[in-house]
Amino acid sequence: MSSRVLSAIILSFALWGCAVSQTPITSSVSTLPIREIKVGEANLTVEVADTDSARQQGLSGRESLPAGRGMLFTFPKPGVYGFWMKGMKFSLDFIWIKNGAVAQVTTNVPAPTPQSPQPVTLRPNSEVDGVIEVPAGWATQNNIQNGMAVTMLP
């Protein structure tokens, strides 16, 4: 499939979503599953985005995240998944996960601004099976490093 055809399909779905929705998705209330996880020594409450629609929506449109909160994106198989900042209103840190450990940390990714409206697209350096998005600065404040364990808490 050519990139032009793929782009047209993606645009069609985006326009369909705008046409169907009567109100923009800006609520901080989520219907996603909530889990407690540990990254290294830091505890974090995450919303789990484990479906295509949840992963596509992500944190777009939200004003912020409360302290100690994030979003965990899980994938059915490892891959080099792209993330972009479209619709984001605040900066993020990305914690890329493979096999239950931090594989890479990308910090202080800015939200689009009127001066720089093109959303940033990010990809990990290697295949991952999960990503945690947290407010910018969280990874540095909690000294998150490659190789640290990422575990679900009971």
Would you kindly state where each structural domain of the chain is located, as residue ranges?
28-152
Ordered alpha helix ranges (H), the chain:
3-20, 52-57, 138-141
CATH number, domain 28-152, options 3.30.70.20, 3.30.1540.20, 3.40.47.10, 2.60.120.1140:
2.60.120.1140
Q: Give dist(CA 128, CA 104) in Å, integer.
A: 9
Q: What is the pLDDT along the chain (154 residues), one digit of tens a residue?
A: 443 433 333 333 333 333 332 323 334 456 899 999 999 999 999 999 998 888 888 888 888 888 899 999 999 999 999 998 888 899 999 999 999 999 999 999 999 888 888 777 899 999 999 999 999 999 999 999 999 999 999 8
